[in-house]
Amino acid sequence: MDMPIVRFPALMKFYVDNQIEFPCMGVTVAELLDNLVARYPALQPHLFEPGGNMRRHFNIFVNGEHIRELNGLDTPLKNDDKVILMVSAAGG
């Protein structure tokens, strides 16, 4: 079973049992997000707009590359790939 590692920003870890980093199943980025939301429903409004599109202050990187430069949400994932979820923060 393919188990990429997903990393959450401090801003969102309260929705995932206070974890920063943990393995999550998914053979594509989209599938991984579906699995995350199924496990942690409170994530849904943070990741997606009401219409279902991914929120635009929100970025996903796979092994250091933005998924925009890869295959978007269809980017394939394999074991131990590092998926970083990232949101904008304004604090200074």
Partner 1 sequence: MAPELSHEEILRYSRHLLIPEVGLEGQRKLKSSSALVIGTGGLGSPVALYLAAAGVGHIGLVDFDVVDKSNLQRQVIHGKSTIGKLKVESARNKLLDLNSDIQIDIYDEPFTSENAIRIAENYDVLIDGTDNFPTRYLTNDVCVFLGKPNVYGSIFRFDGQLSVFDARLGPCYRCLFPEPPPRGLVPSCAEGGVLGVLPGTIGTLQATEALKILLGIGDTMVGRLLLYNALDMSFDFVKLKKNPKCRVCGPHADIKELIDYEEFCGVPGHDHNDEGSAGKDRDITATELAERCRSGKLVLLDVREPHELQISALPNTLNIPLGQLAGRLTELDSAEDMVVFCKAGTRSTRALELLISAGFKKVKNLKGGINAWAREVDQELPIY
Q: By CB under 8 A, what part of segment 36-65 binds partner 1?
A: 42, 45-46, 55-59, 61, 64-65
- CB of 27 vs partner 1, minimal distance in Å: 22
Cβ contacts of 76 within 8 Å, gap of 6 or more = 27, 28
Question: Is residue 68 a contact point for partner 1 (CB under 8 A)?
Answer: yes
Sheet hosting strand 21-23, strand order edge to edge: 21-23, 5-7, 82-87, 58-62, 65-66
Of 35 and 59, nearer to partner 1 (C-beta) is: 59
Question: Would you count residue 90 as binding partner 1 (CB under 8 A)?
Answer: yes
Nearer to partner 1, 39 or 57 (CB): 57
Binding residues with partner 1: total (CB under 8 A):
31
- Contact between 26 and 3 (Cβ < 8 Å): no
